[in-house]
Structure 1
Amino acid sequence: MEANPSANGRLCLSLFIFTLLCLERSAGFYLPGLAPVSFCEENSETDNCKSQIKLFVNRLDSVESVLPYEYDAFDFCKDEHEEWASENLGQVLFGERIESSPYKFTFKKPETCAKVCTKTYTTKDKIAALEFMKKGIELNYQQHWIIDNMPVTWCYDVEVGQKYCRPGFPIGCAIAEDGRIRDSCILNNQFNKKNTFYLFNHVDIIITYHSGNGENWEGARLVSARLEPKSYKHTKNNLNCDGPPMEIPQKLTGDLDVIYTYSVKFQENNTIKWASRWDYILESIPHTNIQWVSIMNSLVIVLFLSGMVAMIMLRTLHKDIARYNQIESSEDAQEEFGWKLVHGDIFRSPKKGMLLAVFLGQGTQIFIMTFITLFQACLGFLSPANRGALMTCAVVLWVLLGTPAGYVSARMYKTFGGEKWKSNVLLTSFLCPGIIFADFFIMNIILWQKGSSAAIPFGTLVAILAMWFGISVPLTFLGAYFGFKQRSHCLLAIEHPVRTNQIPRQIPQQSFFTKSFPGIIMGGILPFGCIFIQLFFILNSIWSHQMYYMFGVLFLVFIILLITCSEATILLCYFHLCAEDYHWWWRSFLTSGFTAFYLFVYAIHYFFSKLQITGTASTILYFGYTLIMVLIFFLFTGTIGFFSCYWFVKKIYSVVKVD
């Protein structure tokens, strides 16, 4: 069921209340994914109940390569009447290519060692296809199959009494020339010949269903699909699913026949509800318990530090305000000191004000987009079952939020005294999106050259450009128009509580800790500590192809990140003002924005310590996409820090009376 964000606030509130009531009354209500499908036996079909179960195949990916490939790129069995599933924008951007397969089953009709197709390789024909297959085995490429919009999982023991269910299974495995066992070959002691590849040409599939007894639906519903990949050396006249493994030699010296087979059986299990059929996959993800414990510890620490920062700020600022007001009311008040000395320069326009305004507009657009996307993910509309929905939602929201970007950018630029409104709105529309698109286009050229399924088709690129130029840019111009024409008493008022002196005040010599660069470096440490743990699992989901589903925790960390960025920036801004340094505009943006630098450093550490990526193309792609993520995060956190500091400065200089 798809959920589209509504522009009507009342409708959004009604939807939220209705969702809460539904969740309260029925904990098993299943928001994401497709509508349930009922299955029945072959001779009992109706309009609402079908007997044929279709198996779809998705792209193949690897933890050792950033390049995913379509199923058709490998010489597997093809469907004679190939069907392509409709894909949303997010699936295309992620390189998912879902198509039909020749594996088709009849409900409750078991099959044993059924033949799918035969592939023949000779020394003169299809050598390239066989070599590509061996390269895929060497890089541990994984197949991804789908039944009833549910991944077909491969479950195996990782510890005593604990299973890990992976939504994918390898093409095969290999034994190195030195006898070293690689990847899945460790699971079978028959895989023991040196310098040999073993192809998984057989699968044992178990489909579990809920019969519908005691429920209000017709027929049965599938609740899980598991398989176990195996390797058998069949002959054309004898399908033997209990024989030696299918070997692919390092060098082909004669004809080689590869026969693909499968076995399928059905199991009834009425204890698993259809709404909870993903639970066994999510609960088996490694480190889930460790993640929860670490997240709770992190949240407690961050909340404690945030409380301490807030308490220090309130107590210190309260004492300062009381002291300054007391001195002004006394007859012997002689001289101002501290942050009150710079009241005549505190709102002096910064250097490169247009660039700062452009960054703030883009950061506002990203902030609103992230907030709405995470909120919908918390409600379950963007779960892993709804493939590509997360990216689709984010891209569509970004396009539609051009108006806030243009408004904030124009408003802040006018606050800085800028008059080149055309340059401002053009930079807001094209600078940061242009950098991201140029990086993305370069990455796409590499993907095109490698024949990867992640390469965006030309038509999709044109559609993205049409959304950018046809929707986002006009909306940005509209927001900029209102930003420049808006009266000062509205949002982001231009009037300041104190006047700016004509002659800038000289800034005294600063100590090491009150200089800009050390403060900026220290400012990003605490916000990065908020996202450190979540960042690890997000990177795992992107590069190690693990499912991420705890969006409620992510949303909580998102809120704490906002609070921490705000408090850290305000605290350092206050210290600099007390040191009579009034250059706070850019410093407030860079203080929290420097969190992106730590993110980039951690991404480098993650690449060298956690990943097994090989090849120049994969390395370029990893760091190319990482730079996009770092830029977006820089704009997001920098904007949060800036507006927090902007509010703080206006607040204290409006409370304290100054001459």
Structure 2
Amino acid sequence: MEPAASANREPLPPTSSPTRGSKMAASGVRGRLTCALALLLWCPAASCFYVPGVAPRNFEKEAFVEIKAVKLTSSRTQLPYEYYSLPFCRPKEITYKAENLGEVLRGDRIVNTPFQVFMTIEKKCEILCNSVKEPLVLSEEQSKLIAERIQEDYYIHLIADNLPVATRLEFYLSREEEKNKEKDIQFEHGYRLGFMDNGKFYLHNHLSFILYYHREDVEENKEPNYRVVRFEVIPQSIKLSDLKAEEKGACTLPEATNLAPQEIDPTKENKLLFTYSVRWEESDIKWASRWDTYLTMSDVQIHWFSIINSVVVVFFLSGILSMIIIRTLRKDIANYNKEDDIEDTMEESGWKLVHGDVFRPPQYPMILSSLLGSGIQLFCMILIVIFVAMLGMLSPSSRGALMTTACFLFMFMGVFGGFSAGRLYRTLKGHRWKKGAFCTATLYPGVVFGLCFILNCFIWGKHSSGAVPFPTMVALLCMWFGISLPLVYLGYYFGFRKQPYDNPVRTNQIPRQIPEQRWYMNRFVGILMAGILPFGAMFIELFFIFSAIWENQFYYLFGFLFLVFIILVVSCSQISIVMVYFQLCAEDYRWWWRTFLVSGGSAFYVLIYAVFYFVNKLDIVEFIPSLLYFGYTALMVLSFWLLTGTIGFYAAYMFVRKIYAAVKID
């Protein structure tokens, strides 16, 4: 999500894009950033600076504009396939682009196509391969495969100059607009492979490309440069017998009124031709704004109102909670610090009475510290990724950059996760730091890798491009054991050697008896109560995130996401403080594990929403796509639980230390 004004734009030069500073802990890093900024401002060519990989590309007149294929996708199966998994026309030499890690994990297999497109040169109809006299013959097996893909509602994704192809959808919003011939224009990503009608399958075998260019003026007596700013397609199904051949592979399209679609009969061989046409149109859209078409495919206005509503509600509730707990705490601390007679002191009750047990180490301190270390690792990774993406460096134009950055950042953040886990483990009177470091480095990543490997085996069985290749899997393992694990050990070593957290009160040798608790102090009830507020803060954003993941939509509003993330941190912290305060007032000092579990209560609501989304928004009916959905959703819920649980735990820990340091204890 990017800020509203520049959300839908590719990264601009620093002279015109907003700059945001971040406080760096080390003065050396701050110095390097200052020097780099000074050089950029001083350098006369600073206005030509772009984020690597997304600089504008200028085309001369009649220059070749390569059309590449990315993949085939369907929201019904969630299994992407590479372009040539179907019998499309192939060039003489097939060349695959070298993808980054994010593209491989997304299932992208970018490959060249035989489309011959040249800047400003139009083509009325061109036969892609074969000829009218010798059409392409699909075997019965190939025809059956195409019919299956059409039935599964597959879309084909092409790119031209890194711009994805889009299909224009026009429809009338009301009868008045129909009379006035005013249409609402929207776009969908890619184009449909074909369609079904009365149980028959029809293939889109003719593509009408519409490419928009922006003319860049240059010096006098020089040819102007052209930049591609939009890539549209109108897919059509045209029967072989209706296509008329001309010289040099050209063809003539029939009149729209006499158009008969190209049927694909899955029970026999089929003859057809793949054809295309090219139309160029000049546009006022500048290169920096060329992604506007693709990033306004969903209703952004609803997004705005929903986000503002969530912000107002969450801050209002947070203010009320803060006011109540601060007033109550002041009263409690004032009462506890009064010098009354012994009889009044004996009548004391509440959270002060458990001061001798509140910092008693919990059960399984190694597992708790390991989970919290992984939570810190996730928190640092998500914070940096969202912030960098908000600045426009991880926009959709940088294909696969978001996932690649997230993977590498998680590995390198292991040093912070290990440090926090090691220090907490020592605070909890732990002694086996090597075992604790190994647990921190392998517990959460091991669950993620194990589940992904199992799901990957099912994807392999379907021959989908979404399956992670074996060399990539080995590379991920090497990153885990070669980067993340040593960094976790390093951080754990220094964290364990550092002084433990200074608790304000001493722990008694004999544990205090815990009174019988009311029903509403039950752990599961606490999870349900504590999860509502954080989930309400990010409910709308969750819909857009799910749409981006499961319905092949672009997610780009990172400015909104950063705001929602901050609200999520605030709401998790405050609800965690309230819950631990109620627990201590009930004289139950076993708050360590409970706070971690209850703070992650919003993950339970995320799981419920995921089930709702699956039933109401997706058309998945097969076993393997359903397994993939719930498998990856389980990983998302687990990660979200670790993240919110860690935020709530550290907020509650700081709160508990603060309140017990504020009272006089004999």
Q: Give the distance between the partners of 1:28 and 1:327, measured in 2 at CA.
A: 71
**1:652, 1:17 → 2: CA distance?**
44
Structure 2 match to 1:190: none
- Residue in 1 that maps onto 2:431: 419
Q: What is the deviation of 1:333?
A: 4.5
| Residue 229 of structure 2: aligned partner | 223
Q: Deviations over 1:156-207 (max 9, x none)?
A: 11443311112200000011xxxxxxxxxxxxxxxxxx32111101111111
Q: Which amino acid aligns with 1:260?
A: F
Would the alpha carbon gap of residues 60 and 19 (structure 1) be closer, same or farther in structure 2, given more than 3 Å must change? farther
Alignment partner, residue 244 of structure 1: 259
TM-score calculated relative to the size of structure 2: 0.88
| Aligned with residue 656 of structure 1, among 644, 654, 663 | 663
Give the Cα–Cα distance (whole angstroms) in 1 for the partners of residues 351 and 505 of structure 2: 13
Partner secondary structure for residue 225 of structure 2: coil
Q: 1:21 to 1:89 in 2, by over 3 A?
A: same
CA distance in 1, matches of 2:203, 2:39: 48
Is contact 1:199–1:248 with CA below 8 Å preserved after alignment? yes
2:381 is matched with which residue: 363, 369, 375? 369
Cα distance in 2 for partners of 1:27, 1:312 equals 53
Q: Alpha-carbon deviation of 1:477?
A: 0.9
Q: Deviations over 1:60-97 (max 9, x none)?
A: 00111111100010111112222222211111111111
| Distance in 1 (alpha carbons) for counterparts of 2:339 and 2:523 | 30
Question: Which of 448, 451, 457 is the equivalent residue of 1:436?
Answer: 448
Distance in 2 between the 1:546 and 1:573 partners? Answer: 40
Q: Tell me what 2:633 maps to.
A: 626
Q: One-letter code of the match for 2:351?
A: W
Instruction: Look up the SS of the partner of 2:520 in the other structure.
Output: helix
Match of 1:206 among 210, 218, 240: 210
Question: What is the letter of the counterpart of residue 422 of structure 1?
Answer: K
Alignment of structure 1 residues 199-598 onto 2, 5 Å = 199-213=203-217, 219-235=225-241, 238=245, 239-242=251-254, 243-253=258-268, 255-269=269-283, 271-283=284-296, 285-327=297-339, 333-486=345-498, 488=499, 493-598=500-605
Q: Is the 8 A contact 1:233 1:245 kept in 2?
A: yes
* Cα distance, 1:120 vs structure 2: 5.5
Between the two proteins, what is the percent identity of the paired residues? Answer: 44
Unaligned runs of 5+ in 1: 43-50, 176-193
Mapped partners of 2:324, 2:218: distance in 1? 60
Aligned length: 619
| Counterparts in 2 of 1:213 and 1:371: CA distance versus 1, 3 Å | same
Amino acid at match of 1:208: Y
Choose 125-134 or 340-349, whichever is displaced more: 125-134
1:142–1:169 CA contact under 8 A, matched in 2:
yes
| Structure 2 residue runs without a partner (length 5+) | 1-9, 15-21, 174-182, 246-250
Distance in 2 (alpha carbons) for counterparts of 1:507 and 1:330? 23
Alpha-carbon spacing, 1:14–1:447, altered in 2? closer, same or farther (3 Å): farther
On the 8 A contact 2:143/2:265 being kept in 1, the answer is no
The 2-side partners of 1:15 and 1:531 are apart by 38
> Superposed, which structure 2 residues align to 1:115-134 within 5 Å?
115-118=127-130, 126-134=139-147
For 1:564 and 1:158, how far apart are their aligned partners in 2?
42
Correspondence for 2:185 among 156, 160, 163: 163
Aligned in 2, Cα 1:27/1:515: closer, same or farther, shift over 3 Å?
farther
1-structure distance, mates of 2:564, 2:303:
13
Judge conservation of contact 2:66–2:116 (CA < 8 Å) in 1. Answer: yes
Query: Within 1, Cα distance between the matches of 2:50 and 2:291?
Result: 10
Q: Alpha-carbon deviations, 1:538-587, whole Å to 9, x = none? A: 00000011111100000000000000000000001101111111111011
Cα distance, 1:140 vs. partner? 0.9
For residues 31 and 554 of structure 1, the distance between their equivalents in structure 2, rounded to whole angstroms, comes to: 21
Aligned-partner Cα distance in 1 for 2:624–2:127:
38
The one-letter code sitting in structure 2 at the alignment partner of 1:244 is: L
2:61 corresponds to:
41
Cα distance in 2, alignment partners of residues 331 and 442 from structure 1: 65
Inter-partner Cα distance in structure 2 for 1:465 and 1:408: 24
With a CA cutoff of 8 Å and minimum separation of 6, indicate the structure with the bigger relative contact order: 2
Partner in structure 2 of residue 135 of structure 1: 148
1:196/1:332 CA distance change after superposition, 3 Å: closer
Cα distance, 1:341–1:303 mapped onto 2, change above 3 Å: same
After superposition, residues 25-174 of structure 1 pair within 5 angstroms as 31=51, 33-42=53-62, 51-118=63-130, 126-160=139-173, 161-174=183-196
The 8 Å contact of residues 262 and 272 in structure 2, kept in 1 or not, is answered as no
Query: Does the 8 Å CA contact 2:607/2:637 hold for their aligned counterparts?
Result: yes
Q: What are the superposed Cα offsets for residues 440-475 of structure 1, whole Å, 9 maximum, x if unpaired? A: 001111111100001111110010000001111111
TM-aligned CA distance change 1:547 to 1:197, over 3 Å: same
**Paired letter, 2:226:** A
Q: Aligned pair in 2 of structure 1 residues 15, 309: CA closer, same or farther (>3 Å)?
A: farther
Paired with 1:470 and 1:407, the residues of 2 have a C-alpha distance of: 18
SS at match of 1:524: helix
Contact 1:203/1:263 (8 A) holds in 2: yes
Q: 1:304 to 1:332 in 2, by over 3 A?
A: closer
Q: Which residue of 2 aligns with 1:184?
A: none
Mapped partners of 2:543, 2:418: distance in 1: 34
**CA displacement at 1:99 relative to structure 2:** 0.7
Structure-2 separation of matches of 1:224 and 1:422: 56
- Which among 616, 626, 641 is matched to residue 623 of structure 2? 616
